[in-house]
Amino acid sequence: MNRFNNAGEQIDSVIIVNDVEPITTQYYPDISVNEQGNCIVTWYDYRNKNGVYFQQYKNIGSSDLFEKVDSNKSVADYIIQINHPRVSICNSSEFAISWSEFNGAYNDLKFRVYEETGTPLTEILYVTESQERDQINQDIIFADDKIYNVWQDNHELGVGYDIWANVYSMSELVTDIEENNLSLPNEFTLEQNYPNPFNPSTTIKYTIPNIANTKFASSTNVELKIYDILGREIKTLVNENQKPGSYEIKFDASNLSSGIYFYSLNAGEFHQVNKMMLLK
């Protein structure tokens, strides 16, 4: 990377963006600079496997002072084909990166928004809900608290590729992540207790899904109970309405004899029983 002033004069020597030794393969670089002179560089990198990385640089008050912030950071690593990243930094130095990702049949477009510190503000999100057709040649702009996406898409069969665009409000994206819990589980799970066998206590983990348009989208009554080998109820660990999320409960069997026990999770239409062993 080179920097130049308004007169077209080179400011400093060539800056090597990639910080991996030995040098690995990099393609498809993109760069974005805001009014403060802070910039983000993103690129495709094959240091471990197909991936997208970014590097932050900060202007610290002089055209001759340009500071690298931390080291290269990964946006996404996949074994499948992932490439053509694009980046846009806003004047508050938050930034967004989008990329193309081959799903085995089509190219999907995804993006993620980051704080000035490089910490993710959102989960990895799809650019468009139309994910069953090819999407290519995307670009992204982050300005005025909005994410602007544009791309080429053939989801209307028989008419070839068209140009599509959409706009996301940052307040909506962050609200979706924080309040609508997009990062929460999308299915029920009841994990094997750990440790197992155990003495005298063990931990049971389970998840309640966030499934839109179902009775589980807000909360559901959850019962987690312990039974002995004869099917007699020993203890109720949970009996309450719970919101979507991940939970863990510690079960203390100090007053029980060695043997096989069962723990049962009931939540709406979901029912699962797992076996555990107490050894004293």
Query: Which SS3 state, helix, strand or coil, does residue 158 take?
Result: coil
pLDDT in tens, the chain (280 residues): 888 888 888 887 888 888 776 667 888 999 999 998 899 999 988 877 778 999 999 887 655 667 888 888 888 766 567 878 999 999 989 999 999 888 777 888 999 999 998 988 888 888 887 656 788 899 999 998 899 999 998 877 667 888 989 998 887 776 554 544 445 677 899 999 999 999 999 999 998 886 543 333 445 788 999 999 999 999 999 888 777 788 888 899 999 999 999 999 998 889 999 999 999 8
pLDDT at position 21 is: 66
Q: Is residue 11 part of a domain?
A: no
Supply the pLDDT for residue 219. Answer: 55
What is the model's pLDDT at position 214? 39
pLDDT at res. 276: 97
For 38, the domain range is 26-178
Per-residue DSSP letter, 43: E
Q: Of the residues 152, 178, 204, which one is the last residue of a structural domain?
A: 178
Its sign, for the CA torsion 45, 46, 52, 53, is negative
Residue 98 lies in a domain: yes
Residue ending a domain, among 178, 211, 236, is 178
Q: Is residue 9 part of a domain?
A: no
CA distance 277 to 280: 10
CA atoms of 96 and 198, how far apart (whole Å) = 47
Domain for residue 7, yes or no?
Answer: no
Residues 104, 203 within the same domain: no
Task: Look at the pTM and tell me if it is higher than 0.85.
Answer: no
Pair of tokens at residue 152:
């080429």
Q: Classify residue 215 by burial, with Cβ atoms within 10 Å: 0-12, 13-18, 19+.
A: exposed
CATH number of the domain to which 49 belongs: 2.120.10.10
> What total of structural domains would you count in the chain?
2
pLDDT of res. 11: 81
Q: Measuring CA to CA, which residue among 124, 100, 103 is closest to residue 112?
A: 124
